[in-house]
């Protein structure tokens, strides 16, 4: 008898569908019953692998955190200048948001609801020592650190903003702006990077 593929194992289906519910559908308040139906497993299977829905969400949150860390590596490339690093980072960030728009909802949602959001991830976006701020500081050595930090926050916000109003939908449904369109995306990124670097 052939060995069951990893993809078809109940645990993998549970994780995959949780990533889809949060990442693709932007559903943060899904029920375990809804998850069991999507993953084609019984409720007991979810309870077997995870003590609570919160524990399962934490596992997926860590996966998303790793994805974002992998994108932020672009800012540390020593073979490019600061602007090139920011461009590579911004392009990868937007592609991540196109594929998984819910990535940007999970941490603010946890903060708003009083859950324990991963502080390291919030620091990655908003602390004064985050990599975006450090990279902008290199590109703008004469600008006051406080202003550079404001520019950093504005840049991250500008990357997220086109996706905020399409919660639970694909970017193609946005009648005003389509980030999936390569030409539009390139023009938008050029604009926000120019603003950040001015």
Could you state, in order of their start, the residue ranges of all structural domains in the chain?
Answer: 61-197
pLDDT above 70 for 145: yes
Mean pLDDT of 144-173: 78
Of 172, 152, 150, 154, the closest CA to residue 101 belongs to 172
Please provide the average confidence, as pLDDT, over all residues in the chain.
85
Radius of gyration of the chain (CA): 19
Task: Give tens-digit pLDDT for 74-112.
Answer: 999 999 999 999 999 999 999 999 999 888 777 666 655
Q: What is the pLDDT of residue 3?
A: 52
| Class in CATH terms, 61-197 | mainly alpha
* Mean local confidence (pLDDT), 5-17: 85
137: Cβ contacts below 8 Å, ≥ 6 apart: 143, 145, 148
pLDDT of residue 121: 64
Is the pTM above the cut of 0.85?
no
Is the per-residue pLDDT at 174 higher than 80? no
Average pLDDT value for residue range 2-28: 84
- In angstroms, how far apart are the furthest CA atoms of the chain? 68
């Amino acid at each position: 008898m052939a060995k069951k593929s990893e993809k078809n194992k109940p645990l993998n289906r549970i994780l995959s569908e949780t990533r889809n519910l949060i990442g693709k559908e932007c559903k943060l308040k899904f029920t375990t019953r809804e998850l069991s139906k999507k993953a084609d497993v019984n409720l007991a299977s979810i309870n077997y692998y995870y003590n609570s829905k919160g524990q399962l969400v934490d596992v997926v949150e860590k996966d998303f955190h790793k994805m974002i860390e992998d994108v932020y590596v672009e800012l540390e490339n020593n073979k490019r200048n600061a602007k090139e690093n920011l461009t590579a980072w911004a392009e990868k960030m937007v592609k991540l948001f196109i594929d998984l728009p819910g990535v940007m909802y999970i941490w603010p949602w946890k903060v708003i609801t009083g859950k324990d959001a991963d502080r390291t991830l919030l620091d990655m976006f908003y602390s004064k020592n985050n990599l975006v701020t450090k990279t902008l500081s290199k590109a703008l050595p004469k600008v006051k650190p406080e202003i550079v930090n404001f520019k950093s926050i504005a840049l991250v916000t500008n990357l997220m903003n086109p996706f905020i109003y399409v919660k639970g939908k694909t970017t193609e449904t946005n009648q005003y702006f389509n980030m999936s369109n390569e030409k539009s995306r390139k023009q938008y990124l050029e604009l926000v990077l120019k603003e950040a670097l001015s």
